[in-house]
Chains A and B, each alone.
Chain A
């Protein structure tokens, strides 16, 4: 008897119509979509021959958006307008992204229309305007969706999307937002390792009491999870990992080696050459899974990379992953000898050294009969099938929260409210009170992480409790309930106990989009193409206008006494008109007024230069007249 009890075919699954549901692996490097057909999970083709979509999106000036292989070709020729590895930017701040070693060369800026001044959402600066990571992810999801629709001539009724186990609340929320923008009804977010275990649980692992380790080395992230499978329940006991290490980093290690050996400075390479170097490194890495040495050509340089040298290059990084493996085992309160099976996920697990080190560490050969690039999508599709009620299998995935959740207390200390590795859904309550008479609002800062001080952890959101009934200081007893749902996404409710009055809560995500912003994006994506493009142009024009107004104001301020009253009046009028044109989003008006303002600004600047050379000021002339 297998681990999953497959019910008799006479049950409800045959009587009712099956819902068309899919599993999506939204990966750093590649994305896949799969579904269960006649009880068998299959990946859905993206093109004639391929079922893997490179997670790359290209934006061009005409507002055309390309995804996948088509976009990938632009990585070398036009890296600034081509976004790859967007998953690394999802739910992060500008500083977070800049501080990690990504092999990407697009330009980032913070969003100008963000309502949150404290932390702004990073945007990609493309010829099509400013684009958030969530929108880029939505484009990828949208492509996968249309492939599924095309293949089965049916709309997706539900999807399970996978995320790294190590994803925090903001990153999960960002993934959910992307699904909403792409118009995909989300059944559940599940952890990638859990999905992989489901795929193997169905096919390979044939026991009801199993401890399984999933080692997942993806394009941009590494994580390892320890799961217990019993009575059909897949329980994640512990998870550890590094959100900023993956196959991309191995490429970078090889690229640095090439640059060093060829005596080239990586910093000085132009965008095209840089991308070419990364691609060359990636190909070399993949070849070394099969051969012992590989000839590398980069520009005018050529050389030999041996497996031995490659192994030395990556040894430290791989040892780090083994250390995290050991940490996960300790966290799970288990030992290496208790691990019944080890599952490999992610293309980078094809590297010989990775396999060898895992085998040595676990004292057993890891399972690799399922394709490590497809196993997550397959498992997600199987789980979607069960969640939709298409399949009566008694199976349940039980997840845990990867990092502790806490609130800021006096002196910036982190007070944990839900401990790391707690099972979800989880709920916890805390009492708060007022410290001033008639105080009507309380601010709660929520963080995620396991360090003592909040500044070392990740800021998730600021919750402002409003409508607190007027009472003397310290009398209000506000019960704040923090709830993590089955997807690991946080929600907060608050009630004043003595009056039973519910507080209104305002949420300001630190690095994510507000619900309102997401709603706007969803609305925008409904009539995509033309209007979206138009919107981007307007957005771009508004940004440029605000820069222009800023610099003109500076110009006026520094040259107060040398600008004629007439010009001054003209400029002020133009600025006011331009501002109101921006507010009302009237594209043509903005463009016209901006041009006028630019012209007058230029002429003033020119006049100033001319006058400076001649050593006299315009005001001198005016007095003479």
Chain B
């Protein structure tokens, strides 16, 4: 029997950790759905119950799959006094870089001839996400008061840049 009340990691039977084997996660996710999805229940009351359970499985899977939401969730589930929503970034270099990226994307939207720059921007965002996640993991795993503060900031940066990635994808 799966424990749905503990945390998102336990739903999939994996340990709480920064590193997740995404293929394994997907496999476990599919297995859970085969069992709990409303379409797999023939009984009407069980179907109704299954909507709630499956919603939770979907939410848990999505949270763990994406690096930014996983980072935020790790902070939350570890019971650490960190609030990512309110974390402010005092890294001015980061903010400036983000603003510049945003401006470039805006220009790309208006001028099709700049489209050749796109792959480079995409690649940069992609590596940035990886880099900030490593940064987050290191601080998170060190688990000191100061490092948790840094992990929170890294999580905030991740959210920031993942949102940028999302905007970029929607633009195209």
Contacts and interface: CB of A to CB of B under 8 A. Distances in A.
B59 A427 contact: yes
Given A396-B39, A427-B55, A232 B34 contact: yes
Interface of B is mostly: helix
B172 interface: yes
Interface of B: 26-27, 30-31, 33-34, 37-40, 42, 51-52, 54-56, 58-59, 61-62, 169-170, 172
A231 B23 CA distance: 12
B51 A422 contact: no
Contacts of B33: 233, 396, 398
Nearest to B168: A330
A441 B172 CA distance: 42
A106 to B, nearest CB: 37
A574 to B, nearest CB: 54
A387 B39 CA distance: 6
A387 B47 CA distance: 12
Nearest to B27: A231
A426 B55 contact: yes
Given A231-B30, A233-B30, A425-B51, A396 B37 contact: yes
A65 B110 CA distance: 53
Contact of A231 (B34, B42, B170): B34
Given A422-B58, A425-B54, A327 B30 contact: no
A389 interface: yes
A310 to B, nearest CB: 28
B83 to A, nearest CB: 16
Interface of A: 188, 230-233, 327, 330-331, 387, 389, 394, 396-398, 422-427, 450, 483, 485-486
Q: Most B CB atoms within 10 A — which of A233, A327, A387, A450?
A: A233
A485 B62 CA distance: 17
A331 B51 CA distance: 25
Nearest to B55: A427
Contacts of A485: 38, 51
A231 B30 CA distance: 7
A427 B42 contact: no
Given A233-B30, A330-B169, A426 B59 contact: yes
Provide the main secondary structure of the chain A interface.
Answer: mixed
Contacts of A450: 170
A274 B157 CA distance: 60
A397 to B, nearest CB: 7
30 contacts: A188-B39, A230-B26, A230-B30, A231-B30, A231-B34, A232-B34, A327-B172, A330-B172, A387-B39, A389-B42, A396-B37, A397-B39, A398-B37, A422-B58, A422-B62, A423-B62, A425-B38, A425-B51, A425-B54, A425-B58, A426-B55, A427-B55, A427-B56, A427-B59, A483-B51, A483-B55, A485-B38, A485-B51, A486-B37, A486-B54
A422 B166 CA distance: 14
Contact of A396 (B34, B42, B51, B59): B34
Contacts of B61: 423
Contacts of A394: 34
Q: Which of A327, A389, A426 is the most central at the interface, judged by chain B CB atoms within 10 Å of its CB?
A: A426
B40 to A, nearest CB: 7
B34 A424 contact: no
Contacts of B37: 396, 398, 486
A384 B158 CA distance: 43
Nearest to A389: B42
A37 to B, nearest CB: 21
B172 A233 contact: no
Nearest to B56: A427
Contacts of B56: 427
